[in-house]
């Protein structure tokens, strides 16, 4: 039963049949698709592996930063800051006092053991860079902040651009040293 315009219906049916057979052939002819799936799977696996390695390295680096910052805060809190030489009346004098240069050397050693080079970190005490002297009297707060630059070393191989950021560790501590003890009225 072909109606008016039946030739167009027949053409449409033939086109659909050819189209179905073409898609059927494409589905049937899947040579190389397994190789493509393997390549994509390997690529995804590498990205995930690189991400996990970067996160592990980042965690290790943050542990080093955190431990070093705790050391700085303890030292600065006990001394009432950090100066180039021991203040008058400091128990033990220069032998017991950690000066700014000694503290900077100790920080550099700790960071070097953690793979952090000079220039990749900053240390501030009450907003003042470490090289400057900081003097904080008894029962006043000190805020120590250490920032370290890090980079996604492995993942940046897959993602274009330089992926860098800063890790920050903050500690607050109370000063335990009284400057000019001879003029102290007491608590």
Query: What confidence tens digit (pLDDT) does each residue in 42-90 have?
Result: 999 999 999 999 999 999 999 999 999 999 999 999 998 999 988 888 8
Specify if 56 maps to a domain.
Answer: no
Q: What number of residues does the chain have?
A: 187
Domain holding 156, by residue range, is: 80-187
Specify if 69 maps to a domain.
Answer: no
Specify if 23 maps to a domain.
Answer: no
Specify if 149 maps to a domain.
Answer: yes
Query: What confidence tens digit (pLDDT) does each residue in 107-157 have?
Result: 999 999 888 998 899 999 999 998 888 888 888 999 999 999 988 888 888
Specify if 162 maps to a domain.
Answer: yes
pTM, rounded to two decimals: 0.73
Specify if 129 maps to a domain.
Answer: yes
């Amino acid at each position: 039963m072909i109606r008016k315009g039946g030739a167009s219906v027949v053409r449409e049916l033939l086109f659909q049949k050819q189209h179905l057979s073409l898609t059927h052939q494409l589905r049937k002819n899947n040579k190389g698709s397994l190789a493509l799936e393997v390549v994509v799977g390997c690529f995804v696996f590498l990205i995930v592996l690189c991400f996990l390695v970067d996160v592990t390295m980042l965690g290790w680096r943050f542990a080093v930063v955190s431990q070093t910052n705790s050391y700085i805060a303890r030292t600065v809190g006990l001394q009432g800051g950090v100066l180039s030489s021991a203040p008058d009346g400091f128990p033990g004098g220069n032998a017991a006092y950690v000066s700014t240069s000694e503290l900077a050397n100790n920080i550099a050693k700790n960071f070097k053991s953690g793979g952090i080079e000079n220039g990749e970190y900053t240390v501030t005490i009450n907003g003042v860079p470490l090289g400057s002297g900081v003097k904080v009297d008894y029962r006043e707060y000190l805020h120590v902040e250490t920032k370290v630059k890090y980079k996604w070393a492995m993942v940046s191989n897959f993602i274009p651009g330089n992926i860098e950021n800063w890790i920050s560790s903050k500690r607050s501590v109370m000063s335990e040293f009284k400057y000019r003890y001879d003029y102290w009225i007491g608590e």
